[in-house]
Structure 1
Amino acid sequence: MSKNKVNDLRSALELLRQIPGQLVQTDVEVDPEAELSGVYRHVGAGGTVERPTRKGPAMIFNNIKGHPGARVAIGLLASRERVGYLLDCDPKRLGFILKESVTHPLPPVVIPNEKAKCQEVVYRASDPDFDVRKLLPAPTNTPEDAGPYITMGMCYASNPETGESDVTIHRMCLQSRDEISIFLQPGARHIGYFRELAEARGEALPISVSIGVDPAISIASCFEPPTTPLGYDELQAAGALRGEPVELVQCLTINERAIANAEYVIEGEILPHVRVAEDQNTHTGKAMPEFPGYTGPANPELPIIKVKAITTRRNPIMQTCIGPSEEHVSMAGIPTEASILVLLEKMYPGKIRNVYCASSGGGKYIAVIQFQKKVPSDEGRQRQAALLAFASFAELKHVFLVDEDVDCFDMEDVLWAMTTRFQADRDLILIPGVQCHPLDPSNQPEYSPLIRAKGNACKAIFDCTVPWDQKDRFVRAKFKEVDPKHWLPDLF
């Protein structure tokens, strides 16, 4: 396999084509309304998607009903192994290279418009035939969705007071020929704060949405505070991951920049004091499937992006994902792993062997921390490490603590440790009445009278580590080290 340089969506797909089992495509027509996601559910969605599903290859659909000539790529990041290929890294070390990317940032650069691939074709909203629903082959995940969703759009906007920029991913529903609703979770993303500042001034917030980009950008955009505080542009981390700056370009119709090699760019403004019901066109009461595996309720009042233009590459490729798929685990979980590593390595240098934000938690609810006790005084520090992770990342619900001889990326091994190294009456630590995540349906007052408000629930630490003074009693069976390639060269 040749080492292709990955710097956009197309070079990423080309790399995967050269790796057996990592990319498939079809020319059979598929309906973007629920059918496309229904197909990929069986091919490679994984994550918290209802079974039957599995981890499998990324997929390109070359024949989209109602969108002649359009193509849709899905599942690019729906495998930790595949993310390792795309970032040229051992999958178990991804958290570490993302940690380094934050601490050694490489700022983006702006290139001339004539060099920007994302502006090869231009569609302006002033054209009477302009319609985002026709230009964007955005799928729905299920028949109940509020509408077609952009799920892999890199939203880029700037603080109207300081000029500092930020990139994040939000769920965006196509509402009309030139309007797109955007869900901005209160207090969770910087662009939401920028919108509030602009609205307080009675101003619209210019925003670009870049779709179909280098995977390094998709993953780096999912960093959150405190690792990337207000004023930190995550594109700096994406540049560090690639060893070269992300290229931006000035938009044509708004005072903002976009990712220059994106397949699609939406240029628009978030209007002040304008809200729409997310499901105003379908009235299903549902939004789209979210990472916990459930379909979220439609929001009755969301801000809208008034679209000014859409620019594209020639023959653009729409990139999308299934909300609860393994793709979300990669994008949300790996940056969270890196963030926990940044925090815990400062407090316990040399003792944190690795961190895994498990698929069963959607990359956000569960963290497995591999902690090595080296001296008697380390006993108990593993629990302090879990408390630190909880204090910094409110969305975490469960932390599993395991020893260095347990593979933290193998949940079967984690459950083995829980079975043989855990007693609930002494090793389960409950922390009730703290902020968790509002999309967890068990974090609701309807679930328990002890829950006072939505998202205010109970966290738990499962300490599956061996007590220091009993290490000799819990030694795993040791097997002879051999190289299996000698016997099965084609398998290994």
Structure 2
Amino acid sequence: MDFSTMEQPFPAFIDFPPINDLRSALARLQQVPGQLLHTDHPVDPHGELAGVYKRVGAGGTVKRPTRLGPAMMFNHIKGYPDSRVLVGVMASRERVALLLDTTPDRLAERMGEAIEKAIDPVVVPREQAPCQEIVHRAEDPGFDLRTLLPAPTNTDEDAGPFFCLGLVLGSDPEEGHADVTIHRLCVQGRDRLSIFFAPDRHIDKFRQKAEAAGKPLPVTINMGLDPAILIGSCFEAPTTPLGYDELKIAGGLRGRPVELVEAVSIGQKAIARAEVVIEGEILPHERLREDINTDSGRAMPEFPGYTGPANPSLPVIRVTAVTMRRQAILQTLVGPGEEHTNLAGIPTEASIRNAVERAMPGLLKNVYAHTAGGGKLLAVLQVAKRRPGDEGRQRQAALIALAVYRELKNVILVDEDVDPFDSDDVLWAMQTRYQGDVDTIFVPGVPGHVLDPSQVPEYSPSIAARGLTCKTIFDCTAPWHLRERFERAKFRDVDPHPFAPELFPQARS
């Protein structure tokens, strides 16, 4: 189902029950044909499950052949008779829009409004927290993460099984404010996980403070969540500075607070309606080689489409308990897939949109954090020049975008008659409204993303250190003084429904 041409949100939204957790989100998807696929065919979580979804619906920067398809529930996991695994809930922009009560082209606007209408989370009693219906404590006989939860491997060369959609909740040990972020978590033993932090992540700053005091940092890892929580957690500074609790954004999206509950084994909170919660402590002064159990030399597939090297020294989480709902659903993603694009990219779009609108109201019409950059490295900005004085302001908008989102690498500017979500249209603009020597702006030697394999000194002597990059603006907008030469061919706007009702089932009102 294509929502991209709709002027208003999908009309059936008014008939859908509200979403407050993963199960209510799945119930909504179940009502829309083609959005959720169940399979009872046995699947191995090690390599096979991700291999299946690569073909069914992963998309993104996954090596072809792949496609955009439905979310998929695997009901029969080999070696785990009581488990089921869900993948791809947010692996299409249309599905995200359906789950957030909007249309695909208005997702950035919807997310931007949620920041302005943020609602603080609340704590509920344990009897109101489904995530603690079943409790497994690490001291229990036979406790073993490796047999309790079917953490998948994406490829046969992964460092180990990974929890790929674990939302880590931690608190500043000095100030007390909380933060949530999704991190790479590798299962290393019966009660041990390694955790990878990209530079400047807030929970890593909390860990550093705790470690400096010689203390562990208590955290919960929350899995199987309302999509609003996951996507709201992916905002970054400066939109959500240190001390800002991203759970407030999910509250703004849903119009009610996210419910938290006190953990059962540590002094931390968990998301009350999560499917699975792992409780534990990040240990001070303890490090672990990521591939210690496999010696594969590789970590796991990441958003740029590559499997990066295993990290030689990562912080360690000692697990103290696992709590879960009855018939819990373990949620995962395929690392380079479209799901990552939407998780990372839509908050990026909202941050850019809000910042540019504050600086230059009315100039920016829309923004797309393109899937080719995993929602992080490439953004397409659609701008509207209205007067001669607007010439050049589109480049200022691009500079604002680069400032708002530090991991953004390339920005493509297009006019309002170009669809930013249609790559063919964007590339058409680049071929006909762009001259490389006058429409390319370079910003060298600034921080990028450490998972981009080109951002290393070995790639270019201009790169002084790993993680630095040259950022580029491609101005594919028509010059204002030549705008009449760049008018697109004017076709008659005809209602196609009478001619092709099977393709256009609803006549345009």
> What TM-score do the two structures reach when normalised by structure 1?
0.99
> 2:362 aligned with 1:350, yes or no?
yes
The amino acid across from 1:219 in the alignment is I
Residue aligning to 1:174: 187
Find 1:99's aligned residue among 112, 117, 127.
Answer: 112
1:23 deviates by: 1.0
What is the aligned partner in structure 2 of residue 416 from structure 1?
Answer: 428
In the alignment, structure 1 residue 312 sits paired with structure 2 residue 324: yes
Output aligned runs, 1:9-158, within 5 Å.
Answer: 9-158=22-171
- DSSP 3-state at the match of 2:437: helix
Between 1:477-486 and 1:214-223, the stretch displaced more is 477-486
- Tell me if structure 1 keeps the 8 A contact 2:377–2:408: yes
Q: Following the alignment from structure 1 to structure 2, what is the Cα–Cα distance between the partners of residues 389 and 229? A: 16
For residue 463 of structure 2, what is the aligned residue in structure 1? 451
2:260 is aligned to 248
**5+ residue gaps, structure 1:** none
The corresponding residue for 2:6 is none
1:190 matched to which residue of 2?
202
Please give the secondary structure, in 1, of the residue aligned with 2:497: helix
CA-CA distance at 1:391 after TM superposition: 2.2
Name structure 2 gaps, 5 residues minimum. Answer: 1-11, 505-509
Q: Deviations over 1:341-399 (max 9, x none)?
A: 11111111011101100000110000101111111111111111111211232211110
Specify which of 168, 175, 192 is matched with residue 162 of structure 1. 175
Q: TM-score, normalised by structure 2?
A: 0.95
Letter of the 1:318 counterpart: L
Aligned equivalents of 1:434, 1:272: Cα separation in 2: 31
Give 1:312 shift.
0.3
Please give the alpha-carbon distance, in whole angstroms, between the structure 2 residues aligned to 1:486 and 1:106.
47
Q: In the alignment, is residue 474 of structure 1 matched against residue 486 of structure 2?
A: yes
Offset, 1:69: 2.0
Q: Secondary structure at the match of 1:426?
A: coil
Map 1:193-232 → 2, pairs under 5 A: 193-232=205-244
How much identity, in percent, do the aligned residues show?
Answer: 61
Matched, 1:4 2:4: no
Measure how far apart 1:311 and its partner are. Answer: 0.3
Match of 1:437, SS state, is: coil
| Count of aligned pairs | 491
Deviation (angstroms), 1:220: 0.3
1:375-426 superposed Cα distances (whole Å, 9 cap, x missing partner): 1111111111111211232211110000010001111100000001001111
Aligned counterparts of 1:391 and 1:228: Cα–Cα separation in 2:
14
Query: 2-side partners of 1:456 and 1:274: how far apart?
Result: 28
The within-5 A match list for 1:328-477 is 328-477=340-489
Deviations 1:8-54 (A, max 9, x none): 11111111111111111111110000000000000000000000001
Deviations 1:226-260 (A, max 9, x none): 00001110000001101111000010111110110
Alpha-carbon distance between aligned partners in 2 of 1:168 and 1:328, rounded to the nearest angstrom = 13
Whole-angstrom distance in 1 between the partners of 2:237 and 2:498: 48
Of 37-46 and 128-137, the range deviating more from structure 2: 128-137
CA distance in structure 1 between the aligned counterparts of 2:140 and 2:82, rounded to whole angstroms: 21
Is residue 2:291 matched to residue 1:283?
no
Q: Which residue of 1 aligns with 2:9?
A: none
How far the C-alpha of 1:107 sits from its partner, in A, is: 0.6
Shift of 1:441: 1.0
CA distance in 2, matches of 1:235, 1:485: 43
User: Cα RMSD (Å) of the superposition?
Assistant: 0.9
